Structure 1
């Protein structure tokens, strides 16, 4: 229950700890002579859209540590890793390592002078989907603002913010100077909740937050035994879609394959979506939360794969017949 008496928390929260604004700027300046890349949207590792406004990024963590990736990543790519830029930023490394949860993308995001972004929602980047997006202002001024769910913010250097960016939001910079934030995506864990104000405790302990489990090791034998093929709803790997596991809908063929180092789901377009083992033959997608998992039940008399879609503690499950690999 928040201060307004609602079970839904506020759209943003000022987190612990306070940060050293001067050290953040000093780290940022190690990359200011480099021409940053435009913000882009990728799908299956290919650019499908690029920002038209002056909206540039410098990735310090990205899929596979690729310094050219300006997007937040997602399923279907490599594990997130530090880029070469982070090696020159000791304080940013310190800040990132202090965040208690598995880190995904971390990007300096530069909104150019006299630039207004378009209103939009970042689907599923919120705790009910197991994700949190954190903002660390580095360079800003009074004419730079964020409107988040109808509330206008002027976040300041040295502050550390969470925002629910699955809600409608718009950024704007009406001044003559650049506005730069370090934006960090992290999986929600009980430890992450300790950074939030005390009045958020009931929310994080309640049914509306999806907490992620740590990855576990998987043996060569388990990888071999998990290989199979199955038919499932076609939106299984389209995580930005709000598909349902129930009701008549288009189906597609999928398979679970051994990549030599781990397991992956092969999509109908022959793209590999690598998997993270959670124990009990259950797996989430690399680059994504437990919002979507697959569990192999191939030792059953009737072999199957169990699909799960989650939002908070609410789970929809669908068992589908599976054919173990020869």
Structure 2
């Protein structure tokens, strides 16, 4: 099955370099109430931070950076990572069920929420300088902070600028820039860290001068799920080649841009799933007009199916702001039923 593509011109760093690396949002909360709810979770285990990528979960961080998840993949208290594209939704955990004021605060953030974590940085702890990767406007993913327990010496260095944020204020930072979290105080620092998808309503919380300088056409906004009828879901079953770069949602720089992998779309437990080399890899969430984003992810990576035409095709799309790479897969073969779990 031939695969054709058009080159991607990534959003240049200069598009964002003129913006402040961090900005306060127009949302303040009662940090004392949040801290009291955190204290009431003392019977739960603060687990080490653990990164995740397309290759799975990485090793736990060795320094004093601990997490209690309030929303996580499948609602698991053991998952301290932010999750990513795959077969799992972000769900509320038991800890959030016990924290009604946290739930109220989260309800005031006008955006779809992915992971939400209480993140504690111990006295003297410091992260290495790093980028979070695909966490900013052009990828449709923002990482927001609300300091709950903080003190002088608890700092974030983002893009070379040192920040100390007071408790109870919602903050944005561009974590795709190089940054360091450090705690030079003798007490633990705790932040509520929220991963979400930008919406126009959320952007309304940003300072007016920030919004005036923002390149709006490079903001990848959230699109809502559009339900499918049962017969529409059943009509998605097909065989198709998948560009080798498409499954690499955390880093596709090492993949062969001309390579392809054997794939199928199957109905498993009543939902469409993209399988690669026989392995279920990604749930498909319909966002309208036969276009699907990957479950647990943003519209940064979508699959557009045109199966009604005489020569069915699939378009694998990767976005970065207004830029788009589109791999057109020809000779897609529709089938009636594929594999177990079809309904």
1:277 to 273, 286, 302: 286
Larger RCO (CA under 8 A, 6+ residues apart): 2
Contact 2:263 2:278 survives alignment (8 Å): no
Deviation at 1:244, TM superposition (A): 10
For 1:32-181, what aligned pairs fall within 5 Å after superposition? 32-43=42-53, 47-181=57-191
Contact 1:41 1:50 survives alignment (8 Å): yes
Query: Are 1:289 and 2:298 counterparts?
Result: yes
**Structure 1 gap ranges (5+):** none
Question: What SS does the aligned partner of 2:217 have?
Answer: coil
Question: What SS does the aligned partner of 2:40 have?
Answer: helix
Q: Distance in 1 between matches of 2:249 and 2:30?
A: 36
Q: Distance in 1 between matches of 2:225 and 2:101?
A: 27
For 1:164-313, what aligned pairs fall within 5 Å after superposition? 164-202=174-212, 206-243=216-253, 249-268=258-277, 270-313=279-322
Contact 1:45 1:77 survives alignment (8 Å): no
Contact 1:207 1:314 survives alignment (8 Å): no
Distance 1:164 1:7, change over 3 A: closer
Question: What SS does the aligned partner of 1:317 have?
Answer: strand
Q: TM-score, normalised by structure 1?
A: 0.93
Q: TM-score, normalised by structure 2?
A: 0.88
Distance 1:304 1:145, change over 3 A: same
Deviation at 1:276, TM superposition (A): 1.1
Q: Could you say what the CA RMSD is over the residues aligned between the two structures, in angstroms?
A: 2.1
Distance 1:255 1:202, change over 3 A: farther
Contact 2:54 2:248 survives alignment (8 Å): no
2:23 to 4, 13, 35: 13
Q: Distance in 1 between matches of 2:150 and 2:17?
A: 33
Contact 1:138 1:182 survives alignment (8 Å): yes
**Structure 2 gap ranges (5+):** 1-14, 337-343
